[in-house]
Amino acid sequence: MSTTTLGLLAAPPADRLPVLSLPELVAAVEAAGLTGRGGAGFPTTTKLRAAAGARGLVVVANAMEGEPLSSKDAVLLARAPHLVLEGLALVSAALGATRRVVGAGSHLPVAALRPVASAYDVEVVVVPGGFVSGQESALVRGLSGLPAVPTDPLVRVTTRGVDGRPTLVLNAETLASVAMAVRFGPAAAASRLLTISGAVEAPGVVEAPRTALLGDVVDRARPGPLRAVLVGGYHGGWVPAGALGTSLADLAVGAGVLHVLGAGTCPLAATARIATYLAGETAGQCGPCVNALPRVADTLARLASGPPDPRLPAEVARLSALAAGRGACAHPDGTVRMVLSAMQVFADDVAAHLEGRCTA
């Protein structure tokens, strides 16, 4: 069967999965250049090696999909759940894991997934929570029956995770790509799923190669006149309309989100709304989230809505510096990254608002 015509949403279930040693699995994943598809983009081989030799290992498919703009994992589990489960089985066998689990957000199609998962000896556990519940340490807490909030970043889940056992967490799409690489070769794992939303006629999930141009992918959703694309989701960054010729390989695609900002929408107001949402999604455990993020969002909202105040851009920068790199998880960092990208990409809009006018 051709490896070039198969996609993540079209590959049929395997008649029989091979049994790979850990070195064989690592070699297959490395040849595919596979990185995490949940947001961080961490090399998958590094995570596999980190779990090697762990006794009583739990392998978790992260299908929380707390990013509001993403629906790729939901689509994947609805249309090709076998690929996620096959990847989970391959990884578990290579590492000698004793338990395998799909941790799913409450909006995921778990009712249809459970009977399929049982054939692979995989548990499906629904974990309630918001934006940060899909963070690795938060998810393992949720699977342990605790509130799904991030924990001490110095304690790796590969040391102490679900119920105190060593745990390897991989995104659902990452595991599906592992199965593709093993079954059909490295080229079969060279594409990824992308959720396109915003000012488009045909929002939804598409599959595209990593080498595709951003504009070509967005065009598949039939956008109208646009100002920019938010790439990577709420923790991503803004890419202006003039840079749509950039390859996906050169962008931080993160959770696979492409959100199109229409030409008639104020980019500062749109960014302020996202920042306000993110400020309300904190776990409430550390100062940067509790104190800095709401103030960043409020300052940005004041810049967007007026009255003009020349001190506001510097205040956004100052507050962002207070939040970045100081949280118990990456939530403040991701929020600040999105806000600062807006201040840079939409510098002309910032200047216009300081003059009391909006370009939208």
CATH number of the domain where residue 323 is located:
1.20.1440.230
Token pair recorded at residue 91: 């990884």
For 142-155, what is the mean pLDDT? 86
The answer to whether residue 86 is domain-embedded is yes
Contact 109, 78 (CB under 8 A): yes
The answer to whether residue 214 is domain-embedded is yes
Strand partners of residue 196: 204, 258
195 and 184 housed in the same domain: no
- Which is more confident, 149 or 82? 82
Which segment of 56-60, 81-85, 131-135, 178-182 scores lowest on mean pLDDT?
131-135
Picking from 233, 262, 291, the residue at the C-terminal end of a domain is 262
53 and 159 housed in the same domain: yes
CA distance 316 to 340: 8
41 and 119 housed in the same domain: yes
How far lies 74's CA from each of 135, 173, 194, 271, in Å?
Answer: 17, 10, 12, 26
- Which is more confident, 359 or 83? 83
Contact 269, 244 (CB under 8 A): no
Picking from 244, 262, 280, the residue at the C-terminal end of a domain is 262
**How much is the pLDDT for 140?**
94
CA distance 326 to 350: 27
CA distance 122 to 58: 11
168 and 296 housed in the same domain: no
The answer to whether residue 233 is domain-embedded is yes
The answer to whether residue 73 is domain-embedded is yes
* Residue 219, domain CATH: 3.10.20.600
For 167-183, what is the mean pLDDT? 96
How far lies 149's CA from each of 94, 152, 153, 169, 209, in Å?
Answer: 30, 10, 12, 15, 34
Say yes or no to pLDDT of 4 above 70.
no
- For 155, other C-beta atoms within 10 Å of its C-beta total 11
By residue range, what is the domain housing residue 151? 22-189
**How much is the pLDDT for 3?**
34
For β-strands 167-171 and 58-63, DSSP reports them as: parallel
33 and 180 housed in the same domain: yes
81 and 159 housed in the same domain: yes
The answer to whether residue 103 is domain-embedded is yes
Say yes or no to pLDDT of 283 above 80.
no
249 and 286 housed in the same domain: no
- For 10, other C-beta atoms within 10 Å of its C-beta total 11
* Residue 54, domain CATH: 3.40.50.11540
Token pair recorded at residue 92: 């578990």
31 and 179 housed in the same domain: yes
148 and 232 housed in the same domain: no
Contact 221, 202 (CB under 8 A): yes
The total number of structural domains that make up the chain: 3
Tokens 């689990």 correspond to 101
Q: What is the CA radius of gyration of the chain?
A: 21
Question: What is the average pLDDT value for the chain, to the nearest integer?
Answer: 92
334 and 225 housed in the same domain: no
CA distance 168 to 50: 8
34 and 183 housed in the same domain: yes
The answer to whether residue 8 is domain-embedded is no
Contact 83, 12 (CB under 8 A): no
Q: Given pLDDT bands bounded at 50, 70 and 90, which one contains residue 345?
A: very high
Residue type, 45: T
The answer to whether residue 4 is domain-embedded is no
For 102-112, what is the mean pLDDT? 87
Contact 254, 243 (CB under 8 A): no
Picking from 209, 227, 262, the residue at the C-terminal end of a domain is 262
What share of the chain has pLDDT > 70, as a percent?
A: 98
69 and 181 housed in the same domain: yes
How many helices (DSSP H) and strands (DSSP E) are in the chain? 14, 9
Q: Which long-range contacts (CB under 8 A, 24 or more apart) does 291-294 make?
A: 292/319, 292/320, 292/322, 292/323, 292/332, 293/323, 293/331, 293/332, 293/335
Contact 282, 325 (CB under 8 A): no
Question: What residues contact 338, with CB distance under 8 A and at least 6 apart?
Answer: 230, 234, 235, 236, 237, 238, 271, 274, 275, 278
The answer to whether residue 219 is domain-embedded is yes
pLDDT digits (tens, 9 = 90+) for 260-276: 999 999 999 999 999 99
Question: What residues contact 177, with CB distance under 8 A and at least 6 apart?
Answer: 8, 32, 34, 37, 87, 189, 192
Question: What residues contact 45, with CB distance under 8 A and at least 6 apart?
Answer: 26, 29, 30, 34
